[in-house]
Amino acid sequence: MATVTVELPENIFSALGRSPHELEQEVRLAAAIDWYSRGLVSQGRGAEIAGVPRADFIDALADRKIEVAQIDFDSLDRDLGRMRRPLSTLVL
């Protein structure tokens, strides 16, 4: 796994009441949630980035009122349109 280093002011840990490890976990989760909400990563990849089980990642999304299911409405509309065709027009 690659490593990214982020420099923060020394007093940020005491200001937030977090240890460096806790803050690292929060930053990883925040990045994963942001990337997931923008459709850049899947739930599984988001959980991997955050370093948590997928169920915990889904809980974190729900806690922040982020849609858990990503729906591409254009693709859904196309799929539904195909389903509405009479069976005789479908190529099997």
For the whole model, what pTM was predicted? 0.73
Binned at pLDDT 50, 70 and 90, residue 88 comes out as low
Averaged pLDDT score across all residues of the chain: 87
In 3D space, the residue among 61, 5, 1 whose CA is nearest the CA of residue 36 turns out to be 61
Portion of the chain with pLDDT greater than 90, in percent: 61
Tens-digit pLDDT profile for residues 31-76: 999 999 999 999 999 999 999 999 999 999 999 999 888 777 777 7
Q: pLDDT category, 89, cuts 50, 70, 90?
A: low
For residues 39 and 70, is the Cβ–Cβ distance under 8 A? yes
